[in-house]
Structure 1
Amino acid sequence: MTLLTGQDGHWVLLDPDDNVIAVSNRNVPLGDNENIPREIIRPLE
């Protein structure tokens, strides 16, 4: 599940048990390739 967080639209990715497993990188624009959720998920920052 992807949960939008706040007005800027950045996201956190949750596993089925509602644990956060990834977050978007607020240091780059939301539309940047790094912020596209995909199979390879970087760890929490």
Structure 2
Amino acid sequence: MFATTFSRQIAAIACTVVMSATCLMGALAPAHVATSTPPVAAIEAPTA
């Protein structure tokens, strides 16, 4: 698929960058999720 050593190196670097960014975003994105709506309280029904 890749004819030269240079193209193999470029492909390896590109794959490393993409995988590193994917892993980093997968680890950090859940920690930075912010909601703009306040939590809704549970509805209490009258008991008989």
Structure 2-normalised TM-score? 0.17
Which structure dedicates a bigger proportion of its chain to helix? 2
Structure 1-normalised TM-score? 0.17
Structure (1 or 2) with the larger CA radius of gyration? 2
Structure with higher RCO (Cα < 8 A, 6+ apart): 1
